[in-house]
Amino acid sequence: MDKGRCKVRDKMMYIFQKAIWLLFLVIIGYLFIASIFSTCYLGAIQYSTLAGDIEFNWEHTFYMDDNPIPHIIVFLLFSCFLLILGKRKDSILKLSKAVGVGALCISVLIAGYIVLAGQYYPSTDQQHVIEDAAAFMAGDFTDLKPGGYVYLWPFQIGVIVYYWILSYLFGSLNITAFQLVNILLIVFSYILLAKILGRLTGENKKLGNAALIAAALFLPYLFYAVFLYGNVVGLFFALAACYFAILYLKNYKWYLPLLGGFCMAAAVFVKSNYLIFYIGIVIYIGGSVIKNVGKNKKTVYAGIIFTVIMSVCCWLESVGSMRFLTYLNDGEPIDGTPMVAWVAMGLEDGKAAPGWYNGFNNRVYTESHYDYEMAKEISNTQIVHFFKNASTNMKATVGFFVKKIASQWNNPTFSSLRILGRSYGTNSLDWLLYGERARAIYIGFVNLVQTWILAGSLLYAVLRIRKSSWEEILLPLIFIGGFTFHLFWEADNIYAVPYFLLLLPLGVWGYREWYFVLLKRKAYRKKIALVCFCGILICAVSGTDIFAKFFARKDDEGVFNRYTQEPVVQDQLSVGFEEFLQERQIAVNR
């Protein structure tokens, strides 16, 4: 490749890299400001349906005002802590292995207490998955027939097979054993995050121990030990695939593409949403290949090999799982609900919050009499209907997405208490679930931790914007993918957790950069003064109506603070759904 083409290619890659970085900075900046001035909680509320009936919703999102002062104090105190450490040369970079192990032990103890004290039996989708695994093990495949759970959601076959395997190891419906396996996977995920941070920073692997401390502080994910679904196991395998991809581009070991491909396929097998990690890895490796064409043939060939092997593994997983499902169903293929139905539902209002589950994906398939093409057409019509309305009412559309984003990313508990509250267990954790003081302390703590993590991530995005290389773009890229995907897909703050966990190592890295700024604060005094001015300006406009609407602030404060049972009008669901069905049926009859 001639020098002219190399310069054009390098320039294009530079622009692409900075565009990704700026987008990451904007998203993190928005979430950081939102976390300081507002917050969301799931609670119960009474409401009136469109028919005039009064019903009770246990999972309504309340959009609350937040006090920025505690968040600012925590940041300032932590900055002072870093300054004190600065008196000891590089002390923040030399946390011993014992510190990291201690943080992991604390995580295990907390998660173990939640599992063993609570003895929670899963509900909703988790219950279907666990009980289907037990039924399949016993030779009962009833749920593969029309109307059954797997018939409606065939993509769940992966997580069912996973618990089917665990059932052979520990016995059917051995819930406690399955949850203890989750604890191990959570710990391994934390270790992978620490190792990824160590590999990316390069010169200092011990920085990963700081990431383990941050992980121990992020309590909500420890509650996911009782969550028997594909989220925990899928995240472990997805992070392993990321780690092997980073590792392979550094040492080119022949077995790493095989491990990476297997892990990525396993992640997608148990939870299809982890395709976002696959896409992120492909873009990350593809960029490395493009940057090294004509420079480093070894990196080019290595990147191509890893991408091909990982893609083949994911393709084999997709084909294999569907063929296995067909085999279990006596040779009859199962289409299931079209995936576009989740997008249609994600663009509707729901009782919990905009874009959350409202039953549309279930209704569209069952009321179409399991006609896949008809359900797909109805879903597409719903999507078109949304964007037609959006083009004529931008204010309402912006409000819809603001509240959808806030409900997923600005709830500091990340549904950790909701996971326990909707399951069946002992009353050993009622002091936390229903105890007013303990619940308030927990929510207040995780609220501060959430902002602390976002602050570190924002520092990372700002302070690394000029120094960053393509090698560290992977985690921001996947985070952007998850954030963007769930703008349109079904919303739930459970879905946000895997991507928020990616901010743990980035936040630690950000505080490391901030540490160096504090040590050389005289050289950075103008920039620090500019940041302080921006902070004062944001605080000054935080009381305006535009700010409140843009950050979903104080929308439900009165109802939530008074704990009243004031009726509210339920959001209208599935606009035009029945009308479309009638028109479609008339066309078919003709």
User: Where do we find the tokens 């980073």?
Assistant: 246
Give the list of residues 6+ apart from residue 318 with CB closer than 8 angstroms, or none: 268
Would you say residue 108 lies in a domain?
A: yes
Q: Look up residue 315 and give its two tokens.
A: 């393709």
Q: Is the pLDDT of residue 526 over 80?
A: no
Would you say residue 275 lies in a domain?
A: no
Would you say residue 191 lies in a domain?
A: yes
Most confidently modeled of 133-137, 435-439, 463-467?
133-137
Cα distance between residue 490 and residue 343, in whole Å: 6
pTM of the complete model: 0.91
Number of other CB atoms surrounding residue 404 within 10 Å:
24
Would you say residue 38 lies in a domain?
A: yes
Average pLDDT over residues 205-212: 82
| Contact between 160 and 133 (Cβ < 8 Å) | yes
**pLDDT 10s digits, 280-326:** 999 999 998 888 887 778 888 888 999 999 999 999 999 999 999 99
| Contact between 185 and 108 (Cβ < 8 Å) | no
Would you say residue 488 lies in a domain?
A: yes
User: Where do we find the tokens 């148990």?
Assistant: 270
Would you say residue 55 lies in a domain?
A: yes
**pLDDT 10s digits, 115-136:** 999 888 888 889 999 999 999 9
Q: Is the pLDDT of residue 257 over 50?
A: yes
DSSP state of 491: B
Would you say residue 319 lies in a domain?
A: no
Would you say residue 292 lies in a domain?
A: no
Identify the pLDDT of residue 559: 41
Identify the pLDDT of residue 27: 96
Average pLDDT over residues 34-60: 76
> What percent of the chain stands above pLDDT 70?
88
Total number of domains constituting the chain: 1
The average confidence (pLDDT) of the chain is: 85
Identify the pLDDT of residue 429: 86
Q: Look up residue 166 and give its two tokens.
A: 């665990």
**pLDDT 10s digits, 480-507:** 999 999 999 999 999 999 999 999 999 9
User: What range defines the domain where residue 207 resides?
Assistant: 3-118+174-228+335-589
In DSSP notation, 363-383 reads: HHHHTTTT-HHHHHHHHHHHH
Pick the range with the lowest mean pLDDT from 37-51, 267-281, 285-299, 533-547: 37-51
